[in-house]
Amino acid sequence: MIDPDEVERLLGDLESDRVERTEAVKDSTKFCKAICAFANDMPGHALPGYLCIGVDKHGKPTAAPVDERLLEALASHRSNGQIIPMPRMEVAKVDYQGVPIAVVKVEPSDLPPVRYHMQTWIRVGPSARLATQEEERRLTERRVDRARTWDLQACVGSSVDDLAIELFRLTYLPQAVSRQVVEENGRPIEEQLGSLRFYHKPLDAPTNGAILLFGKDPESFVPGAYVQYVRYAGESQATEVVVERRFGGDLLQVMRGLDQLAKDIAGARPVRLANLSETIVQDYPEMALHELLMNAVIHRNYDNSTTPISINQFSDRIEIQNPGSLFGDLSRRQFPNGVSYRNPLLAEAAKTLGFVNRFGRGIAVAQQELVRNGSPALDYVVGDNHMLMILRKHL
């Protein structure tokens, strides 16, 4: 919760580097730079920073309009994918000297460096600026090991030789950091990987996420890291197998293959309306398929699992099943509206590579696309150790 007394105390301290004051209410670039800088916590306060909108540089309220639209716009910066990894933050309207202001409380990240538009912003005194390479290195070394999810842990027994380094350098790096940083980057490959959470320096090994994304042979380390697609002639697995495909290799290759699969099995066709005009519908909306397939790849359990993601297409439905149930403190009651990332590094990579547009919106987008197509609603089963998504054919 945001403490109004703490906000008032910080606003009164004009020397504090834990508060950003701004009169602007529409400068999203400035807001995001401030959020990014507070999340990086370069001074090492281990305390939250506060972005206060509607306050001048002297700490006086400006009576700027603070409405629900502004608060929603500020909250959207958490999950729109422009700040990576996703910051921990709260947004609220706070009464300050009898005037409402908008406040964004940003917690220090356990996974720095945090980037906005591929650049690392830090707080230096009362303003934000770009981090130097040395400052990025210090942020990288500050990570909290106890917060590491499986994809951020070291892949013990692997080395840089197990990675297709050119795939990282030519495909991922230019989309993850700014061109200026890439051009100035003379650091060893281990440091380049480490700055993006793909290398575990204490154990001198790539992370599991790096092996999945850039590994020459990911399945040698993660046996279940592939997707099995089967199309059946009828409504059960007892019927004839018509098509069978396997999607393996590095995760970029897998996601590209699944993206094409969604196009291939969407089944667009014309349907005559009551007024004798025609409209195009799909057996299964391509975008819904895409979002659910990416969700399966991002959220599945890879740890000690030899089970692949399975996609079974029957004559009347498609079933997408992945190993691993709900993660962390996400409950069945909260699903599918809540979000808890089992593999935050993979989610970040999917966003960076353009396979998802926003964090935590996959199922919502799929449901929206099904409604738009006139399809039956999405069914899902939350098992003890698996998730099953069921899309029924548009008739």
pLDDT band at 190 (very low <50, low <70, confident <90, very high): very high
Does 115 map to a domain? yes
Does 48 map to a domain? yes
State the DSSP H helix or E strand holding residue 4, giving kind and residue range, or none if neither: helix 4-12
* The predicted structure's pLDDT at residue 110: 86
Residues 370 and 235 in one domain: yes
Contacts of 108 by beta carbon, 8 Å cutoff, 6+ apart? 38, 39, 40, 41, 45, 46, 47, 48
What mean pLDDT do residues 279-283 have? 89
Pairing between β-strand 278-282 and β-strand 205-206 as defined by DSSP bridges: unpaired
End-to-end alpha carbon distance in the chain: 49
- 3 state DSSP class of 33: helix
pLDDT band at 133 (very low <50, low <70, confident <90, very high): confident
d(CA 345, CA 84): 10
Residues 115 and 188 in one domain: no
Contacts of 255 by beta carbon, 8 Å cutoff, 6+ apart? 294, 297, 350, 353, 355
Does 137 map to a domain? no
* The predicted structure's pLDDT at residue 150: 92
Does 34 map to a domain? yes
Residues 232 and 341 in one domain: yes
Residues 47 and 156 in one domain: no
Does 35 map to a domain? yes
Note whether 265 and 313 are within 8 A (CB). yes
Count the Cβ atoms, other than its own, within 10 Å of residue 191: 16
Higher pLDDT, 350 or 278: 350
Q: How many domains does the chain have?
A: 3
- Reported as a single tens digit per residue, the pLDDT across 38-84 is 999 999 899 999 999 999 988 899 999 999 999 999 999 998 889 99
Which domain-ending residue is among 169, 193, 218? 218
* The predicted structure's pLDDT at residue 384: 85
Note whether 216 and 167 are within 8 A (CB). no
Residues 13 and 73 in one domain: yes
What mean pLDDT do residues 348-372 have? 90
Residue 319 has pLDDT above 70, yes or no: yes
* The predicted structure's pLDDT at residue 147: 58
* The predicted structure's pLDDT at residue 315: 97
Residue 114 has pLDDT above 60, yes or no: yes
Residue 185 has pLDDT above 70, yes or no: no
Residues 22 and 50 in one domain: yes
CA distances (Å), origin 273, targets 203, 280, 284, 368, 371: 63, 10, 19, 22, 17
Residues 342 and 233 in one domain: yes
What mean pLDDT do residues 21-36 have? 94
d(CA 159, CA 154): 10
- Reported as a single tens digit per residue, the pLDDT across 164-182 is 999 999 999 999 888 777 7
* The predicted structure's pLDDT at residue 337: 76
Return the CATH number at 40: 3.30.950.30
* Residue count (the chain): 395
Give the tokens for residue 355.
């396979």
182: containing domain:
148-218
Does 140 map to a domain? no
Mean pLDDT of the chain: 91
Residues 287 and 167 in one domain: no
Which domain-ending residue is among 172, 191, 218? 218
Does 239 map to a domain? yes
Return the CATH number at 365: 3.30.565.60
Residue 271 has pLDDT above 90, yes or no: no
Does 143 map to a domain? no
Give the tokens for residue 316.
């009347």
Among 65-79, 321-335, 348-362, 363-377, the minimum mean pLDDT is found in: 321-335
pTM for the structure as a whole: 0.78
Residues 13 and 123 in one domain: yes
Residues 122 and 237 in one domain: no
